[in-house]
Amino acid sequence: MTKVKLYQFAISHYCEKARWALDYKGIDYKRINLIPGPHLLTTRRLAEKTSVPILLDDGKAIQGSGAIISYLDKMVPEKPLMPQEADLEKEALEIEDYCDREIGVHLRRYFYNTLLWDRPLVTSLLLQDGPKYGPALYAVMFPVVRKLMCKSMNINPESAKRSEQRLTDGIETLNKILSKQKFLVGKDFSRADIAAAALIAPLVQPKEHDFRWPNVFPEPLAAFRREHERDPFFPWVLKMYRECRKIRRY
């Protein structure tokens, strides 16, 4: 493979899924960090939808964390992320899809409903490792970006309350599986583990994660974290990051 590029938001947990798969496969890639708002100018040019992650390989764009993992497994079959047995393959895809929908979406809505109203904190997070023009642009444009984010992700106090419950249900599902087994599917590490661990990582904040999270989250997020610290999924995420998340820096 020639050097591939990953268009991403540093903060995005879906982008973390793609980064994890790239690092796990030992692929030498370049990160192109975009920031919410102006990202539209880049992503519209590259792919069908506006979202990141987008992997660019030799002019071919692969959009979406799941599609990127499937593509990487095809291009670099060593260390497969898809279980090799057909029934486990189906199970892994189902769990990944569940985590994308029930954890990824709801954690994001629940978190942003608080974070977006702490302007210094959220702008420092959204701009982390981003382009140089970011701070000047957000000094003027942030209220517009926030409005767009709330509209496109349907973020408001009522929807966030429902998302808190959906996230809690998602966590409960993970707890049930992980109290019985080491990995989510079968006996080996797979894309299902990457999906679950990466998408819930903003809550757990493992030290191996290469996004610099704030030392303390504002309430009620800090309280939500404290409530779940003793759940089975929490030490499991820390272990997955410790044992299976080897970040390569190029």
Ligand X SMILES: N[C@@H](CCC(=O)N[C@@H](CS)C(=O)NCC(=O)O)C(=O)O
Which tokens is 110 given? Answer: 């629940």
List interacting residues with ligand X (CB under 6 A).
Answer: 9, 12, 14, 50-53, 64-66, 100
Cα-only R_g, the chain: 18
Q: Which is nearer to ligand X, 148 or 231 (CB)?
A: 148
Q: Which is nearer to ligand X, 44 or 182 (CB)?
A: 44
Name 205's Cβ contacts closer than 8 Å, sequence gap at least 6.
Answer: 213
CA angle 146, 204, 193 (to 5 degrees): 105
Q: Which is nearer to ligand X, 214 or 232 (CB)?
A: 214
Q: Which is nearer to ligand X, 53 or 186 (CB)?
A: 53
Phi first, then psi: give them for residue 215, nearest 5 degrees: -60, -40
Of the candidates 148, 149, 247, the one whose C-alpha atom is nearest the C-alpha of residue 206 is 247
Tell me the closest approach of the beta carbon of residue 199 to ligand X, in angstroms.
9
The residue type of 14 is Y
CA distance 141 to 13: 24
Q: Which is nearer to ligand X, 148 or 235 (CB)?
A: 148
Tell me the closest approach of the beta carbon of residue 93 to ligand X, in angstroms.
13
Dihedral-angle region of residue 10 (phi above 0 means left; psi in -120 to 50 means alpha; beta otherwise): alpha
Tell me the closest approach of the beta carbon of residue 230 to ligand X, in angstroms.
28
Tell me the closest approach of the beta carbon of residue 50 to ligand X, in angstroms.
3
CA distance 9 to 39: 9
Tell me the closest approach of the beta carbon of residue 179 to ligand X, in angstroms.
27
